[in-house]
Chains A and B, each alone.
Chain A
């Protein structure tokens, strides 16, 4: 059974940094692209960032480009999101999601339960 467990969400002040982690199990992590998607409570889904199977390619939403950085450690079945220069509009639940393939441009076939990031002074 695929399991994705996010952690690292917290209350942080504007301008500060946070690092989210996602630990994967139940599948061969190194074979699949991975994603971060966020959701303001009661609102829609917003794609944040993606990385392919071997970190050869990554992509970012315009709203986070230059501030967020996605990375992965295939040896540790882990996905990360480094979030710098946080803004109040970054407040949301952040979901880790597994791709159905190794490259970008496909579907997100498994999701974690999310971790809450709150940016406020």
Chain B
């Protein structure tokens, strides 16, 4: 996928589930990585290789990928989950890394 489209914003109530989509042509065949970025901070890898959580990332954060949509799911949302989230793939034909447009998650 050379273009990854994410919804600009998602709002969620504490304790509920947030789902952030990342749309791209046949993204289901790609290895998708997800990053969380809080204001004034560097991005943090939260999911890599589609579904794997790096050390220290809570089990509440999970991901799936099929067809033309990858999804990051945050269960039992907390105030600390409020951040921007970006998906990312490696686009083999162009040998480029591609980031999604980003989604701002707001905890109401």
Residues of A whose CB lies within 8 Å of any CB of B are 35, 37, 44-47, 50, 59, 61-62, 95, 97, 100, 104-114
Contact = CB atoms under 8 A, between A and B. Distances in A.
Interface in B33-47: 33, 35, 37, 41-45
A47 B42 contact: no
B44 A111 contact: yes
Which secondary structure dominates where chain B touches chain A? strand
A107 B101 contact: no
18 contacts: A44-B100, A44-B102, A45-B88, A46-B99, A47-B97, A59-B95, A61-B96, A105-B90, A105-B92, A106-B90, A107-B33, A107-B88, A108-B43, A108-B88, A109-B48, A112-B42, A113-B41, A114-B42
Interface of B: 31, 33, 35, 37, 41-45, 48-49, 54, 86, 88, 90, 92, 95-102
Given A37-B43, A44-B100, 16 more contacts: A35-B97, A37-B99, A44-B86, A47-B96, A47-B97, A47-B98, A62-B96, A100-B45, A100-B48, A106-B31, A106-B48, A106-B49, A107-B33, A107-B45, A110-B45, A112-B42
